[in-house]
Structure 1
């Protein structure tokens, strides 16, 4: 009897596709959702890595131009009021408000410094929204995927025990397939969650560093304009 049971178990296909194909519709739905969530998370991770690398390169290039000694008005004329780079947008927001704060007689309207600061703060907030877009999805996948997988496992094990009760047979050939199918759901949940959590933390830290650079630049630029206001 044991030899026959072992032979039956060895004949069964335990590949991932076979486990998925033998699973119940609910478990199949859970597995499909987890696979889609994993692909979605990796798409966000790759896109954010590209975006952050481009943002750092653009900021470095603009910093070199800003500190090259070129007059601010000349630099603003080169990039225009609606540039593409994030640092350039912050600079442009400050320069636009700086120019709007001048009266026709050449004097400055009261409260110019505060308006310039607010304009750059608004520009930074818009860039922060762009940089952090998609990160909540990674957080959601990282926090919920293990529980979704666990639900699939519980459902699969319940179905396996129902099959055991119906067949009144607890040999390996009956028990193993159902348990393996159920555990696959948990494995897929962890496969989706672990990279999502790791890269959420990494990308959040990268985003904070980039935004910190923008805020530092805005402070330095505001200091330069305040000197001109005082003079």
Structure 2
């Protein structure tokens, strides 16, 4: 109990600048943990939604009906959003009989790439803050420590007889800033690395789906083109 009171006393008796550093680091730590929990939920949901989408997509469902189901939803995210953007553009371009097959597939791929970029931007939201917190928090804490130790030695210089008991409290309160900097930085760095890896895996999965879906649409476009040509040949 006494150690806890001693810790609080050290914080309360620290200089204003050191207290300001501690307050900044405390705010950074609290915000980081809030973002960590929020990103963990978002990325977990993205993985779950992707698996559900893939299970239904590769089950042989009719693409037109599947697109209508997704279009009826208020919001579509992740792989479903990429599919909806690509299929919508494919249907729009296919209405023009003069659109070449390659141009049709290329336009569809561009629409899916735009949707992919938006999805990745959404998944990477908050990550820059975690990276910044993990990078600069130790230095902010170190600044508070250096300032606190400097003040302790300046005060010590005005004394005729210097003892460890005179300088120890000032050094101890200064070192608290370093500890708080590490406390804010370590979870942020771990979370940033973990989330970045998860986003990269999702991006690869989305990219693979885009390639596979483009191949499916390319085959459909070729088949439709052949069907439109054959009747004309038979009539001739």
Q: Same fold (TM over 0.5)?
A: yes
Segments of 5+ residues of structure 2 without an aligned counterpart are 224-236
- Residue 145 of structure 2 is aligned to residue 153 of structure 1: yes
Measured in 2, the distance between the counterparts of 1:12 and 1:220 equals 62
Measured in 2, the distance between the counterparts of 1:131 and 1:36 equals 23
The aligned counterpart of 1:190 is: 182
Taking structure 1 as reference, are residues 181 and 210 closer, same or farther at Cα in structure 2, changes over 3 Å only?
A: same
The aligned counterpart of 1:5 is: none
Q: Is the 8 A contact 2:134 2:186 kept in 1?
A: yes
Measured in 2, the distance between the counterparts of 1:12 and 1:55 equals 45
The aligned counterpart of 1:220 is: 212
The aligned counterpart of 2:8 is: 17
Measured in 1, the distance between the counterparts of 2:4 and 2:169 equals 9
User: 1:13, CA displacement in angstroms?
Assistant: 7.8
Q: How does 1:116-195 map to 2 (within 5 A)?
A: 116-195=108-187
Segments of 5+ residues of structure 1 without an aligned counterpart are 1-10
Q: Is the 8 A contact 1:30 1:152 kept in 2?
A: yes
How many residues are treated as equivalent by the alignment?
Answer: 219
Q: Is the 8 A contact 1:83 1:92 kept in 2?
A: no
Measured in 2, the distance between the counterparts of 1:173 and 1:80 equals 72
User: 1:84, CA displacement in angstroms?
Assistant: 2.0
The TM-score, its normalising length taken from structure 1, stands at 0.90
1:109 pairs, out of 86, 99, 106, with 99
1:73 pairs, out of 64, 80, 96, with 64
- Residue 23 of structure 2 is aligned to residue 32 of structure 1: yes
Once the two structures are overlaid, the 10-residue window that deviates more, 63-72 or 113-122, is 63-72
Root-mean-square deviation over aligned CA pairs: 1.7
- Residue 167 of structure 2 is aligned to residue 207 of structure 1: no
Q: Is the 8 A contact 2:77 2:119 kept in 1?
A: no
Q: Deviations over 1:178-229 (max 9, x none)?
A: 0000101111111111111111111100110011111111111111001111
- Residue 86 of structure 2 is aligned to residue 94 of structure 1: yes
Taking structure 1 as reference, are residues 12 and 213 closer, same or farther at Cα in structure 2, changes over 3 Å only?
A: closer
